[in-house]
Amino acid sequence: MTLIKSISGIRGTIGGPVDDNLTPIDAVKFAAAYGTWLKQQRQKDNYIVVVGRDARISGEMIQNLVMNTLVGLGIHVIDLGLSTTPTVEIAVPLEHADGGIILTASHNPKEWNALKLLNAKGEFLNGAEGQKILEIAESNTMNFAEVDDLGKITVNDAYIDIHIDEVLDLELVNVQAIKDANFKVVVDGVNSTGGIAIPLLLERLGVEPVKLYCDPTGHFPHNPEPLKEHLGDLAKAVVKEHADFGIVVDPDVDRLAFMDETGEMFGEEYTLVACADYVLSKTPGNTVSNMSSTRALRDVTEKHGGTYEASAVGEVNVVTLMKKNNVVIGGEGNGGIIYPDSHYGRDALVGVALFLSLLAEKKMKVSELRASYPNYFMSKKKIQLTPGLDVDGILSTMESNYSHEKLTTIDGVKIDFSDSWVHLRKSNTEPIIRIYTEAPSQEAADTLADRFIAEIKAIANI
């Protein structure tokens, strides 16, 4: 069992001992630390926090603990109930709230849950802010409100509809073209809140949704990470239903992947590539993704006359660089679309609407669209290390060994070769080095990863 405390929030498995797993006491402590931090940001009479959750079995329990802890601090809560991460992000500024909390462990299995923390803009906290909350939690210096100053909980279950309205109002979402195309789409909602939000969005766009695992029970029918090896049922349903394509999201609906009409994956990395292709064709500009994302985004950006730059891994790092470069679209290669005209957060609903607009205007099959993009293949592996091993020293040695190549060292070491790249980075939560590679073929990507695994093992004497 596991409890991971990091600057991006707290996540862990449900049950077990305090401080080892995500227990009710841990949930209360970190919610109290977050509320305390919010109140330290500015002095005012009323504080508001928006809270929502995915459909995990533990979600209602954790949400009630978190909301009532905030109430105990004298903070008013807007309860969105079953929601999505991007929906909560949108609700925070619309409610003029001081922050937001999403109860979700994203793509992790059902025994996990987490508190994801937002600022007053509805964006994830930066490293310094997250560190301060961890310090408050460990200090036990939280000061709760007296009885006459307790907060109140207000239920608002309209925000998924409001979120959909916001998406449909985006200038580049071609609602009429989508309706005219008469698409039929299979949706795998992994029995979480994507099973609510995505079909509703499709219906508003005149798309016929075929629901697969769209009952928000929290009993995930397969591993909830939207990867090819987990999506056999979706592939079968797309072919059986003669659908135009398939959609799959993770439990909190910030990651998005597509499946073509033959039951083959469009490629999670290519979700952002396709959406960027569409946006750049309408509003030329620059793009950003993280260092472990496909080179195809750079190629598509340059095709449209823009400039691409990579950030360190992590949504907050992507958003920071997007703002600095004033980009028109960005995100992460794991299927995360960040479209600033909507908001600075990964949003599968926005991604679906942009992808449908592209498909409707091009009048192409999804397989044909995928074939129109540069073809890269990725390998993602890791090396388990002995605890206490000098991981930074190992990466420094790799940097020295490849100093003659194009290097980026803002997050581990990324080495760019002429037709491929490798990214080596340490985990912040466990003694491993992650190895990401990309090359013109799967065999080449796997071979490159194995080569660097061997080199790291030689340096580490393992």
Residue 83 CA to residue 150 CA, distance in Å, equals 25
Residue 102 CA to residue 87 CA, distance in Å, equals 10
Of 173, 259, 243, nearest to 209 by C-alpha is: 243
| CA dist list (Å): 386 to 2, 346, 433, 460, 462 | 19, 34, 11, 9, 9
Element (H, E) at 407: strand 406-408
Judge contact between 77 and 149, C-beta under 8 A. Answer: no
Element (H, E) at 226: none
- SS3 call for 155: strand
Q: What are phi and psi of 316, to 5 degrees?
A: -65, -35
Residue 106 among the catalytic residues: yes
Residue 254 CA to residue 93 CA, distance in Å, equals 18
Of 8, 58, 83, 106, the catalytic one is 106
Judge contact between 314 and 292, C-beta under 8 A. Answer: no
Residue 40 CA to residue 43 CA, distance in Å, equals 7
Provide the b/e sequence for 246-266 (b: ≥16 CB within 10 Å): bbbbbbbbbbbbbbbbebebb
In this structure, what token pair is assigned to residue 18?
């305090």
Judge contact between 349 and 270, C-beta under 8 A. Answer: no
Judge contact between 82 and 55, C-beta under 8 A. Answer: yes
Please report the sign of the dihedral spanned by the C-alpha atoms of residue 274, residue 278, residue 281, residue 287: negative
Q: What are phi and psi of 134, to 5 degrees?
A: -60, -40
| CA dist list (Å): 78 to 6, 41, 57 | 25, 20, 21
Catalytic residues: 106
